[in-house]
């Protein structure tokens, strides 16, 4: 079954599988890029995709205060209505006088920017970082490592299992 996105994003035509090793390298590269952007008093990971990247970034930057914001917009293949399932704790929201300054928001991907807009509105002056960025969402983040086209579906390692993939020349996506 081909992944489908919402009406504001082109139907994904390209597939980009990301291994655990690649995601770890890209998350460390993000930390390297963020090293001079801080200091950060806390990290807010956007669940679920941002949890793994946030753990790597927190380790590399020595940040011990980590919170989450739970936002649901995707099932395994469709983007739908944004719902905040869990908000950031009041103690974290007080950082920077309630503006978010000194907070690092981490997610795996910014796609259309809908999730990013909701989270950015909670902490407008936070530094927003993602491992991957698509053109529609890229203006909402401050730092990212790899840009992929809007019509690319990223298969993250926590969403896939190991299996044989036919060669591209044989028609594989």
* 108 a catalytic residue: yes
Q: Which of 108, 151, 159, 170 is catalytic?
A: 108
Q: Which of 21, 107, 151, 170 is catalytic?
A: 107
Q: Which of 26, 67, 111, 151 is catalytic?
A: 111
* 142 a catalytic residue: no
Going by their DSSP bridges, the two strands 66-74 and 14-17 should be labelled as: unpaired
In 3D space, the residue among 90, 94, 46 whose CA is nearest the CA of residue 68 turns out to be 46
* Residue found by looking up tokens 């909670």 in the block: 122
Contact 95, 124 (CB under 8 A): no
* 111 a catalytic residue: yes
> What is the full DSSP assignment across 34-74?
HTTT---SEEEEEETTHHHHHHHHHHHHT---EEEEEEEEE
**Four-residue CA torsion sign, 115, 116, 121, 122:** positive
Catalytic residues: 107-108, 111
């Amino acid at each position: 079954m081909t992944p489908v996105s919402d009406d504001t994003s082109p139907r994904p035509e390209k597939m980009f599988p990301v291994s655990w090793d690649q995601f770890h390298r890209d998350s460390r590269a993000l930390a390297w890029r963020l090293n001079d952007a801080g200091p950060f008093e806390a990290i807010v990971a956007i669940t679920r995709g941002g949890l793994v990247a946030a753990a790597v970034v927190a380790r590399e930057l020595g940040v011990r205060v980590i919170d989450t914001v739970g936002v649901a917009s995707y099932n395994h293949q469709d983007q739908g209505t944004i719902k905040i399932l869990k908000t950031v704790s009041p103690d974290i929201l007080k950082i920077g006088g309630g503006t978010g300054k000194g907070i690092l928001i981490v997610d795996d991907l910014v796609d259309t920017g809908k999730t990013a807009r909701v989270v950015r509105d909670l902490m407008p002056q936070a530094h927003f970082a993602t491992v991957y960025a698509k053109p529609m969402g890229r203006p909402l983040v401050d730092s990212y490592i790899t840009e992929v086209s809007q019509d690319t579906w990223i298969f993250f390692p926590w969403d896939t299992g190991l299996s044989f993939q036919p060669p591209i020349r044989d028609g594989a996506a």
